[in-house]
Amino acid sequence: MKTIKRTVNILKGIVPAAFMLMALPAAADYPERPVSVIIAYGAGGNTDVGARILFPKVEQALGATLNIINRPGGGGWVGWTQMLNAKSDGYTLGYINTPNLTTGYLDPHYKRKATLDDFDLIANHVTDYGVISINKDETRFTNIQELVEYAKSNTLTASTTGANGDDHIAMLKMNQKFATQFVPVHTTGTAEQRAALQGGHVDVSFSNVGDTNLAHKGGDLAIIAVMAPERSSFIPDVPTLSESGFPDVVSWSARGIAAPKGLSEEQLASLREAFIAGLNDPEHLAKMKEMGLQVDIRTGDDYRAMLLEEENGIRELSELLGW
């Protein structure tokens, strides 16, 4: 009789514990189904195309399908809001594009409560540094030194891909630090921006290496400065602002993969491992190079530090941005 009671008591302890273990998600089983990845911009754009190049290699490493869901609108915030409202179970990820993400939560007009702390950062994919371009037939200035000098005493129109984006912010930094008088002309995207410059409708264009380097190489326009710590391998003939005598203005558009805050350490480690494997794949790197896009792998504290640096730089321009 004592043996039976002892057995019952043991089972009382074992059964609840077994159920608790069954209720916990096993890290070894993740992922058990396809993972959705929200891209906050339309199909066919640089973020979308880059993701479709990368994902097959990530899927091999992760052992699961990555399903792209395009959710354009609101400067990216339609997609980012959907991602933040999703369960933090490892089955909804998304691309975050900065500085658009950052300006979107810093701008008090939108009254958004989200911050960088609401995301689990997985890995940065691309860092596309800014450039300053002029019309190929421009005669008032032919290099960055002449442009800055001219812009100090003359108002010049400068095309951007939208308000509060990296192009706009770079232009404001130039005005703030070097007393230039660039006035923004916001366009709907790269094609319209380039057409405005080539058609002589604006004086200057602030854009990025990825969407301008081929036009520069083809002689359709002239890039006269790159806003990066060092020269770009895609346009090695173009000097940096710093080496040209204009330091402390670095501009980039970055995009990487994140998830709503709350992933387990095991899930985050699995995702980072899979994305790093995909990002380092030679075929992926070669295709991104063909597109003129710089793969810039950053994870963990390094990725977070990069985004916080950008956030602090934007805060310094809050008055100029009308905040």
Same domain, 257 and 276: yes
Same domain, 134 and 222: yes
Check if the beta carbon of residue 119 is closer than 8 Å to that of residue 271.
no
pLDDT at 1: 52
pLDDT at 275: 98
Range of the structural domain that residue 181 is part of: 129-227
Q: How many domains does the structure of the chain reveal?
A: 2
Same domain, 97 and 53: yes
237 CB burial (10 A radius; 0-12, 13-18, 19+): exposed
Kindly tell me if the per-residue pLDDT of 321 is higher than 70.
yes
Residue 322 lies in a domain: no
Check if the beta carbon of residue 194 is closer than 8 Å to that of residue 210.
no
Residue 286 lies in a domain: yes
Same domain, 141 and 215: yes
Q: In whole angstroms, give the CA distance from residue 239 to residue 306.
A: 23
Structure tokens at 112: 């958004």
pLDDT in tens, 75-129: 899 999 999 999 999 999 999 999 999 999 999 999 999 999 999 999 999 999 9
Kindly tell me if the per-residue pLDDT of 173 is higher than 70.
yes
Q: In whole angstroms, give the CA distance from residue 148 to residue 141.
A: 9
Residue 22 lies in a domain: no
Same domain, 144 and 112: no
pLDDT in tens, 216-237: 999 999 999 999 999 999 999 9
pLDDT at 24: 44
Residue 162 or 228, more confident: 228
* Residue owning tokens 């934007």: 314
Same domain, 114 and 181: no
Check if the beta carbon of residue 279 is closer than 8 Å to that of residue 125.
yes
Same domain, 55 and 204: no
The CATH number covering residue 156 comes to 3.40.190.10
Q: What confidence category does residue 188 fall into, taking pLDDT thresholds of 50, 70 and 90?
A: confident
Of the residues 227, 262, 280, which one is the last residue of a structural domain? 227
Structure tokens at 134: 């002029």
Structure tokens at 106: 């810093």
Residue 240 lies in a domain: no
Residue 303 lies in a domain: yes
The CATH number covering residue 37 comes to 3.40.190.150
Name residues whose C-beta falls within 8 Å of residue 232's C-beta, 6 or more positions apart in sequence: 129, 209, 213, 226, 238, 294
Structure tokens at 273: 């491992």
pLDDT in tens, 261-287: 999 999 999 999 999 999 999 999 999
Question: At residue 269, what are phi and psi to the nearest 5 degrees?
Answer: -65, -40
Of the residues 183, 212, 227, which one is the last residue of a structural domain? 227
- Amino acid identity for residue 61 in this structure: A
pLDDT at 22: 46
Same domain, 222 and 259: no
Same domain, 189 and 268: no
pTM: 0.83
Residue 308 lies in a domain: yes
Same domain, 151 and 124: no
* Residue owning tokens 């009308």: 322
Residue 112 lies in a domain: yes
Ramachandran assignment for 241, one of left (phi > 0), alpha (psi -120 to 50 degrees), beta (any other):
alpha
Q: In whole angstroms, give the CA distance from residue 76 to residue 107.
A: 14
Of the residues 209, 227, 245, which one is the last residue of a structural domain? 227
Question: H or E stretch including 14?
Answer: helix 2-23
pLDDT at 17: 47
pLDDT in tens, 37-75: 999 988 888 899 999 999 999 999 999 999 999 999 888
pLDDT in tens, 6-41: 544 544 555 454 444 444 444 568 999 999 999 998
Q: In whole angstroms, give the CA distance from residue 240 to residue 17.
A: 62
Residue 5 lies in a domain: no
Same domain, 118 and 262: yes
Distance (Å) of CA 50 to CA 46, 69, 215: 6, 14, 20
pLDDT at 272: 98
Same domain, 133 and 223: yes
pLDDT at 143: 98
